Amino acid sequence: MRRSAYSLLFFALASCCAVGPSGAEPSAAAEAEIESLLGAVAGSSCSFIRNGTPHSPPDARVHMELKYDHLRKRIDTAEDFIEMAGSHSSLSGRPYLVECAGAPQRKTRDWLLERLGALRDEGPTSP
């Protein structure tokens, strides 16, 4: 088993035990915002750095989505998603970083909050 597979297995086991069987789930509006944030990650041209290792946008989305799936019952808002699934490693506690062309490296938490603000400024889209 590869090292990343061990990490994922450890994370899955630790998360399932920490979450517990009860809790709420995000509202439809929060779900839509979270899905938009995941789309922004996947659609970016940035490198997402987790525990010192850079990851592609699609890989970063998959990782955050896995964390979200495990933590869903504890997440009520897009801000909760950012804090619990998009800001730091559950294993090491180190912040996630993002590096985009021409810009200094910064915390992914700040990058996601910026995108959430822009998303909310755009307002709801019509069907």
Let me know if residue 74 belongs to a domain.
Answer: yes
**What local confidence, expressed as pLDDT, does residue 102 receive?**
85
Let me know if residue 110 belongs to a domain.
Answer: yes
Let me know if residue 127 belongs to a domain.
Answer: no
The parent domain of residue 104 ranges over 25-117
Please list the ranges in the chain whose pLDDT falls under 50: 1, 5-22, 126
Q: Which of 83, 46, 73, 79 is nearest to 61 (CA)?
A: 46
Please state the pTM of the whole predicted model: 0.79
pLDDT tens, position by position, 74-92 = 999 999 999 999 999 999 9
Let me know if residue 123 belongs to a domain.
Answer: no
**What local confidence, expressed as pLDDT, does residue 124 receive?**
66
Cα–Cα dist 107/68, whole Å: 18
